[in-house]
C-alpha cells in the first residue's frame, strides 16, 4: 500500500489523528497529527508502505525491533533531542510519535537558499554535538545525521530527530529488506555517509561526527563536500581526501577541518567537538536569530473527533453573541457558580478566582545537582524559558549546576526565564607551546611542571626533525584539563634512501646531482683508471640499489686518467723478450728500427721515461756488422 493523502484523518492507536503530510524520511512518511488525549500537535512518522517487507504484519521480529528502537529513543531525554512521545503498530504499519517543532528543518532553510552564518552554524553544531554526545554516552549511534533531521523549535534552537528508526531500519538484519526500497536514491544515501561507511564498515560514534561536519559545511557553503552525481566517486573522495577549510569561516573552519579527517581514529569525539566549538565561539560575533518559517498548518476543527469516520458534531444555533458561549464564558460561569457554592468570601474565593483567571505561578526548585533531563523539564513541565550558561570552575565536574537565577523558591509565571550556570569541568591548563624540536625527556619535564603528562606517542618519519625529537603536539585543543595526558608525534628521522643508479663513465657532475636529489652526500675519491676518462665515474660505494639513511655520504670513485708507467730498460734484449717486458709493464711494442734478429740498443721513448698506460714503445736494434763494414 502506498501511503499519502489517503491516510489523512486516520487515528492511530485511538489517539493520534493524522492532519496533513509534511515530509518524508529515508523510510517514512511524516505527518502533522493531533494528540486527542493531550490536545497538542505532534509529529507522526509512519513507515512507508512501499518499503515495508512483504507480510510485515506477520513478521513479529521486525515489528518488535522497530518498537524496541522507538522505546530506546524515548528513553533519551535531552534539550537538543526531539522527544519521542509514543509508538505502536497500526493497520497501515508501525509508527513513532514525537514532539512537533514549528521551526522547520535545516533542510528547509537550505532548500530556500538560505545559508547560515559561521556564528549561526557554530551554534547549531554545538547543540548537535551535545545531542550526539548524549546519544553516544548511552552506547548508541545515530547513523543518519542530515539536514532534514535537524529541526528548530519556536525560538530557533536546534534538535536532532530520527534516533532509533534510522539505525534499526539500516541495521544488518533489516537492510536486506528495506535499504533497497528506500525512497531516497543511492546518491542521497552516500551524501552524508562517513569514509568508513563508504568502505562497507560498520559506522560508529566517530561516523556521526563526520556526518555532522558535512552537514555544517553544507549549511555554510550550500554544498556537501565531495558531492557528485557518481556515488562511487563521492565514496572514493571521502576515503582519500581531507577537508580543506583553512582560512575559511573564521576559527570554525579549522575546527571542522580537524573533525572531518578521513581516518576515524584522528577525529574528535562528539564531546571534544563540542568543546572545540565552544572555544571557537569566544572569537566570533554573536549569531543573528535563525529565520524561522511561518506558523505550521492549522489543526482542523474536526480534530476533537475521537474516532475515525465519526460525523462532525452539530452545533445548535444560538441567539447569544458569538463569544457568549465560548470557552471564556464557560470558565466564567463555572467560576461564579463555584464562588457561590463556597460562599464567595475570604481567601478561598480569591484563590479560586486567581486559579481561573489569574496567571499561575510556580516556585523555582533548587537545581543544584540537576541533570540534563531535569533542566529540560523546566521548559516542558513549567513552561519557563531556560537560559543555559556554561563556564569552567575548579573543583567541579562537567554538567554540575553551579548557580541559578532566580533563587530557589521564587515564584515564576509561564514564559519567564530561569538562568542556570552549568560547569564544563575544572579550569583548563595551557599546553606548553615550545615542545616541538625537544627530546621526549625534556617534554616530559615541561608537561609535569604544568600538571600534565605524556600520552600516546605516535612515531613518523620527518625530513627536517631529527629522530627522537618531538614534531608536534597531537591535540585538538591548546588547553586541556589539569592531569590530562598530551599526545605527541615524535620523529623517526627522514625516510631511508636508495642509492640511485649511476652508470660507469658518467660525469662527476651528473653523479653529484643524482645523489643530492635524494638527499645523499658525495665524497670524491680519485684513482687512475685505464678505461675511464678523466673526471668520470669509475664506481659508486655502496653500489646503486643499496638502502641507506638520509644524508649518508656516498663515495664516488672518479678517474684521474690512465695509470703512469716508466718505460723499462730493454737494451741487449731480443725483440721477443723486449715485447714481453713491455706488455708486463702495461705498454705495447711500437715500430722496430733495425734488424729483427739483433739485440736492442735503445727505445723511444727512452728507458725511465714516464708515459701513459698502454703507450707503444719503438725499439732500435743493433745493425748487422756486414752493413757497417760496407
Distance between CA 245 and CA 494 in Å, rounded? 29
Q: Is the Cβ–Cβ distance between 221 and 193 less than 8 Å?
A: no
Q: Is the pTM of this model over 0.75?
A: no
Distance between CA 197 and CA 190 in Å, rounded? 9
Buried b or exposed e, range 63-78, using 16+ CB within 10 angstroms: bebbbebbebbbebbb
Q: What is the pLDDT of residue 576?
A: 93
Distance between CA 609 and CA 612 in Å, rounded? 10
- What's the helix, strand, coil split of the chain in %, to 5? 35, 25, 45
440 secondary structure, DSSP code: H
Q: Is 39 exposed, middle or buried (0-12, 13-18, 19+ CB in 10 A)?
A: exposed
pLDDT tens digit string along 576-600? 999 999 999 999 999 999 999 899 9
Q: How far is CA 318 from CA 311, 313, 324, 326, 360, in A?
A: 21, 15, 10, 12, 33
CB atoms within 10 A of CB 256: 27
Measured in whole angstroms, how far is the alpha carbon of residue 465 from the centre of its chain?
28
Pairing between β-strand 16-24 and β-strand 11-12 as defined by DSSP bridges: antiparallel
Q: What does R_g of the chain's alpha carbons equal in angstroms?
A: 44
Give the three-state DSSP class for 398: coil
Closest CA to 594 of 616, 571, 613, 567: 571
CB atoms within 10 A of CB 15: 18
Q: Is the Cβ–Cβ distance between 30 and 45 less than 8 Å?
A: yes
pLDDT tens digit string along 311-362? 333 333 333 333 443 444 344 334 433 433 333 333 333 333 334 434 468 8
CB atoms within 10 A of CB 226: 20
Evaluate if residue 541 carries a pLDDT over 70. yes
Give the three-state DSSP class for 585: coil
Q: Which residue has the higher pLDDT, 336 or 510?
A: 510
Q: If pLDDT is split at 50, 70 and 90, which confidence band does 79 have?
A: confident
Q: Is the Cβ–Cβ distance between 293 and 108 less than 8 Å?
A: yes
Distance between CA 147 and CA 264 in Å, rounded? 22
- Least confident span in 18-27, 449-458, 608-617: 18-27
536 secondary structure, DSSP code: B
Between the two ends of the chain, the Cα-to-Cα distance in Å is: 138
Q: What is the pLDDT of residue 508?
A: 93
The full set of domains in the chain, from first to last, is 5-281 (1.10.510.10), 369-423 (3.30.10.20), 428-491 (3.30.10.20), 497-559 (3.30.10.20), 564-629 (3.30.10.20)
Distance between CA 20 and CA 4 in Å, rounded? 9
Amino acid at each position: 500500500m502506498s501511503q499519502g493523502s489517503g491516510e489523512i484523518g486516520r487515528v492511530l492507536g485511538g489517539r493520534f489523528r493524522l492532519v496533513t503530510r509534511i515530509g518524508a524520511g529515508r523510510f517514512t512518511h511524516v505527518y502533522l497529527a493531533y494528540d486527542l488525549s493531550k490536545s497538542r500537535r505532534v509529529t507522526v512518522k509512519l513507515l512507508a508502505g512501499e518499503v515495508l517487507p512483504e507480510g510485515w504484519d506477520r513478521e513479529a521480529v521486525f515489528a518488535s525491533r522497530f518498537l524496541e528502537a522507538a522505546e530506546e529513543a524515548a528513553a533519551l531525554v535531552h534539550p537538543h533531542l526531539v522527544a519521542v512521545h509514543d509508538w505502536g503498530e497500526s493497520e497501515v504499519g508501525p509508527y513513532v510519535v514525537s514532539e512537533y517543532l514549528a521551526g522547520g528543518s535545516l533542510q528547509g532553510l537550505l532548500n530556500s537558499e538560505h545559508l547560515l552564518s559561521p556564528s549561526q552554524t557554530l551554534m547549531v553544531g554545538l547543540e548537535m554535538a551535545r545531542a550526539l554526545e548524549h546519544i553516544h554516552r548511552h552506547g548508541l549511534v545515530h547513523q543518519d545525521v542530515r539536514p532534514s533531521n535537524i529541526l528548530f523549535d519556536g525560538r530557533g534552537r536546534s534538535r536532532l530527530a530520527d534516533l532509533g528508526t534510522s539505525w534499526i531500519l539500516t541495521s544488518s538484519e533489516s537492510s536486506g529488506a528495506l535499504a533497497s526500497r528506500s525512497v531516497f536514491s543511492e546518491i542521497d544515501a552516500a551524501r552524508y555517509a562517513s569514509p568508513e561507511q563508504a568502505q562497507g564498515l560498520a559506522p560508529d560514534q566517530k561516523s556521526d561526527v563526520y556526518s555532522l561536519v558535512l552537514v555544517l559545511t553544507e549549511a555554510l557553503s550550500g554544498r556537501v563536500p565531495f558531492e557528485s552525481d557518481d556515488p562511487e566517486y563521492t565514496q572514493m573522495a571521502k576515503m582519500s581526501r581531507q577537508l580543506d577549510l583553512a582560512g575559511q569561516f573564521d576559527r570554525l573552519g579549522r575546527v571542522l577541518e580537524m573533525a572531518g579527517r578521513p581516518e576515524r581514529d584522528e577525529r574528535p569525539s562528539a564531546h571534544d567537538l563540542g568543546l572545540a566549538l565552544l572555544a571557537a565561539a569566544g572569537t566570533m560575533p554573536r549569531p543573528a536569530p535563525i529565520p524561522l518559517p511561518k506558523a505550521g498548518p492549522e489543526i482542523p476543527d474536526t480534530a476533537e473527533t475521537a474516532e475515525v469516520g465519526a460525523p462532525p458534531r452539530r452545533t445548535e444555533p444560538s441567539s447569544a453573541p458569538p463569544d457568549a458561549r465560548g470557552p471564556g464564558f464557560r470558565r466564567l460561569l463555572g467560576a461564579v457558580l463555584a464562588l457561590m457554592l463556597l460562599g464567595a468570601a475570604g481567601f478561598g474565593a480569591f484563590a479560586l478566582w486567581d486559579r481561573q483567571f489569574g496567571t499561575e505561578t510556580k516556585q523555582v526548585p533548587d537545581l543544584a545537582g540537576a541533570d540534563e533531563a531535569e533542566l529540560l523539564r523546566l521548559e516542558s513541565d513549567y513552561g519557563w524559558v531556560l537560559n543555559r550558561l556554561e563556564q569552567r570552575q575548579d573543583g567541579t565536574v562537567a554538567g554540575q549546576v553551579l548557580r541559578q537565577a532566580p533563587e530557589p523558591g521564587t515564584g515564576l509565571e509561564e514564559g519567564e526565564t530561569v538562568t542556570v550556570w552549568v560547569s564544563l569541568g575544572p579550569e583548563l591548563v595551557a599546553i606548553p607551546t615550545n615542545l616541538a624540536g625537544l627530546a621526549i625527556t625534556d617534554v616530559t619535564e615541561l608537561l609535569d611542571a604544568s600538571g600534565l603528562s605524556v600520552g600516546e606517542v605516535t612515531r613518523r618519519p620527518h625530513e627536517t626533525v631529527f629522530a627522537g625529537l618531538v614534531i608536534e603536539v597531537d591535540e585538538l585543543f591548546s588547553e586541556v584539563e589539569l592531569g590530562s595526558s598530551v599526545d605527541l608525534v615524535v620523529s623517526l628521522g627522514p625516510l631511508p634512501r636508495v642509492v640511485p643508479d649511476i652508470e660507469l663513465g658518467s660525469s662527476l657532475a651528473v653523479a653529484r646531482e643524482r645523489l643530492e636529489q635524494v638527499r645523499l652526500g658525495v665524497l670524491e675519491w680519485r684513482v687512475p683508471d685505464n678505461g675511464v676518462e678523466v673526471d668520470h665515474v669509475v664506481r659508486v660505494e655502496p653500489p646503486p640499489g643499496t638502502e641507506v639513511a638520509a644524508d649518508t655520504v656516498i663515495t664516488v670513485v672518479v678517474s684521474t686518467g690512465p695509470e703512469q708507467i716508466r718505460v723499462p730498460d730493454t737494451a741487449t734484449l731480443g725483440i721477443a723478450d723486449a715485447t714481453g717486458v713491455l706488455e708486463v709493464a702495461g705498454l705495447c711494442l711500437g715500430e722496430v728500427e733495425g734488424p729483427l734478429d739483433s739485440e736492442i740498443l735503445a727505445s723511444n721513448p727512452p728507458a725511465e721515461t714516464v708515459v701513459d698506460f698502454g703507450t707503444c714503445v719503438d725499439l732500435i736494434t743493433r745493425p748487422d756488422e756486414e752493413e757497417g763494414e760496407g
